[in-house]
Amino acid sequence: MNTFGLHTFAIAPVWDLSRIEPQMDRLKELGVGLLEIPLLRPREIDTRRTRSFAGHYGVELIPSLGLPRALDIGAHPQDGLDFLEPAFRVCEEVGSFGLAGVTYGSIGKTTGRAATTREIDGMCRFLERAAKAARSHGVKLGIEPCNRYETHLINRGIDAARIIERIGADNIFIHLDTYHMHIEEESFGAGFEAAAPYLGYVHVSEANRGVPGRGMLNWQACMKAIADIGYEGPITLESMNHVDQDIAGGLAIWRPVAEDPRDVIEVGLPFLRETARAAGLQLG
């Protein structure tokens, strides 16, 4: 069984328990066993209250983030490590296995050209140090390939796998996202197979970031590819219903992604569970 998750952008633009908790009984009915915390500003998270909340409802937690645009981890890696340190602390204090997201760069920040050898070398040196920092907190570090419009550094599963193999750290995992895969991969099968040895987290997101099943993404092929590699980790619905202004520009979220935002949960979650079941996966 794969733990079924929900990114809380489906409910609120930040980690806001006053908005999330009233929906928990319904989310549990729909099989949700994990919530993703957007760590836009890690120091704002009340970790004691958050861990108590998770224990009460019996859900796992995983924080995620993208590095701020102002950071240049190649030229000033310590600035990036200083930003990640409180994020790792949040992961440790809420009991998460790791930190997911674009931990190697900034969402929406590109140079307008292919990544240079110098950029890749600097990114790898940074990730090696970040992985050591994560280990000191007992957590793992995820790297999420993103589409070419959001980053020029890591776009495909094979790109992420090569970075991990080069670094050699055993606590870095790949975080795949079907929205980005739909743009960048040859096929879902190829993308998931390339990432399989290091795959630790999966976002299932419609091609328009809206309600799963109401876009152009081939969900049957997606779920079959996940089943074919024997992946047993979390599978989390990510939809950009409510996005904090600090990240909306990088994600190019200019308008609502669903006419009725309630449909992301009420229609999308059952659709994903049924499509997964047909492919031989059990989400819950």
Q: pTM for the whole thing?
A: 0.95
DSSP assignments along 244-268, one per residue: -HHHHHHHT--S-SSSSTHHIIIII
Residue 61's SS3 state is strand
Q: Are strands 4-7 and 235-237 parallel, antiparallel or unpaired?
A: parallel
Considering the chain, what percentage of its residues have pLDDT values greater than 90?
Answer: 89
The amino acid sitting at 268 is G
- Which residues sit opposite 141 in a β-bridge? 99, 172
Range list of β-strands (E), the chain: 4-7, 34-38, 60-66, 98-102, 140-143, 172-177, 199-204, 235-237
Question: In b/e form, how buried is each residue of 224-257, taking b as 16+ CB within 10 angstroms?
Answer: bbbbeeebebbbbbbbbbbbeeebeebbebeeeb
What is the model's pLDDT at position 151? 96
What is the model's pLDDT at position 240? 77
Better pLDDT: 108 or 237 = 237
pLDDT at 30 over 70: yes
Task: Render pLDDT for 170-186 as a digit per residue (tens, 0 to 9).
Answer: 999 999 999 999 999 99
Task: Render pLDDT for 142-162 as a digit per residue (tens, 0 to 9).
Answer: 999 999 999 999 999 999 999
Assigned token pair, 220: 């049957």
What is the model's pLDDT at position 146? 97
Is residue 154 within 8 Å of residue 145, measured between CB atoms?
A: yes
Task: Render pLDDT for 223-279 as a digit per residue (tens, 0 to 9).
Answer: 999 999 999 999 999 997 666 566 656 566 656 676 788 999 999 999 999 999 999
Task: Render pLDDT for 181-219 as a digit per residue (tens, 0 to 9).
Answer: 999 999 999 999 999 999 999 999 999 999 999 999 999
- Which residues sit opposite 237 in a β-bridge? 6, 204
The mean pLDDT of the chain is 94
CA distance 232 to 222: 15
Tell me which architecture the domain covering 4-278 has in CATH. Answer: Alpha-Beta Barrel (3.20)
